[in-house]
Amino acid sequence: MAEGRLGRERIPSRARLILEEHRLSTAAFIRYFSSLNPDYAVLDVACGDGYHLEILRNLGFKRIYGIDTDEEMLELAEEKGLNVRYGSVYELEIKGVFDVILMCDLIDKLDDPELALRRVHDALKEDGILYLTAHVGESLAAKLRRRKGAPGSISTERVLDLLQRAGFEVEHKMKTANKLPFGKVQSITFGGRFGNWLIIVARKVGRGVEDEDVEDVRQDVEGDTG
């Protein structure tokens, strides 16, 4: 299993559908994006091996792009013929380009999720869509990690607060979970996490709360965005 630069195990496409929570979240993803205009420009800011981008391509989306900091995963995505590049969400400087941005299984791993969401907000067109998934841990260990401020788990309340501060309005949210005992063992095997998966669809509605402590990190993301 690949180890990302964020220090957490990454689940490759071939293993995702083993887990009940991933099957449920994938089904929700397909249902939602089947209802959108396939001409939309979509960016996945933690694309991994291109799992979600490949689904979008199969749904007829053409203007799909991905960035990631895991070179091994990017190689796998490139082998699938996907348009991906090395890059971090923190370093986005594109303004008002994308109709939709995916932020799947990332926010709970970030040291500065507020800065990341501001970058995403800037990169979206007016009224653009953020599709976000996050692991919201239910275990005592997860709650202790959150109390210490360590990456690896996040609460639903924290995600909603971050979105509001960044200038997003939540349109839809749901949770999926694998409650089967065998599924719990699998979840521990694939990354050491067990709990609910939060799925949020949010709309860009404003500039967000200004914060002088948020560092302005900028770098070009190369490539034609259509």
Residue 179 lies in a domain: yes
The predicted structure's pLDDT at residue 145: 56
Range of the domain at 164: 13-204
pLDDT tens, residue order, the chain (226 aa): 333 333 344 555 655 666 677 788 899 999 999 999 999 999 999 999 999 999 999 999 999 999 999 999 999 999 999 999 999 999 998 999 999 999 999 998 898 999 999 999 999 999 999 999 998 865 555 566 556 555 556 889 999 999 999 999 999 999 876 554 444 434 443 444 445 789 999 999 977 554 443 333 333 333 444 4
Instruction: Give the CATH number of the domain where residue 156 resides.
Output: 3.40.50.150
- For the chain, what is the domain count? 1
Residue 5 lies in a domain: no
The predicted structure's pLDDT at residue 16: 62
The predicted structure's pLDDT at residue 138: 57
Instruction: Name the residue with tokens 């995702």.
Output: 16
Q: Cα(43)–Cα(9) distance, rounded to whole angstroms?
A: 22
Residue 200 lies in a domain: yes
The predicted structure's pLDDT at residue 154: 85
Residue 137 lies in a domain: yes
- Give the β-pairing of 195-204 and 168-176: antiparallel
Say which residues have a Cβ less than 8 Å from residue 88's Cβ, sequence separation at least 6. Answer: 67, 69, 219
CB atoms within 10 A of CB 217: 15
Residue closest to 107 by CA, chosen among 65, 137, 71 = 137
| Three-class secondary structure assignment of the chain | CCECCCCCECCCHHHHCCCHHHHHHHHHHHHHHHCCCCCCCEEECCCCCCHHHHHHHHCCCCCEEEEECCHHHHHHHHHCCCCEEECCHHHCCCCCCEEEEEEECCHHHCCCHHHHHHHHHHHEEEEEEEEEEEEEECCHHHHHHHHHCCCCCCCHHHHHHHHHHHCEEEEEEEEECCCCHHHHHHHHHCCCCCEEEEEEEEEECCCCCCCCCCCCCCCCCCCCCC
8 Å CB contact between 42 and 101? yes
Residue closest to 39 by CA, chosen among 16, 62, 22 = 62
8 Å CB contact between 167 and 140? no
Residue 7 lies in a domain: no
The predicted structure's pLDDT at residue 23: 81
Residue 216 lies in a domain: no
User: Would you say the C-alpha torsion 20, 25, 138, 149 has a positive or negative sign?
Assistant: positive
Phi first, then psi: give them for residue 197, nearest 5 degrees.
Answer: -105, 125
Residue 38 lies in a domain: yes
Residue 8 lies in a domain: no
The predicted structure's pLDDT at residue 216: 38
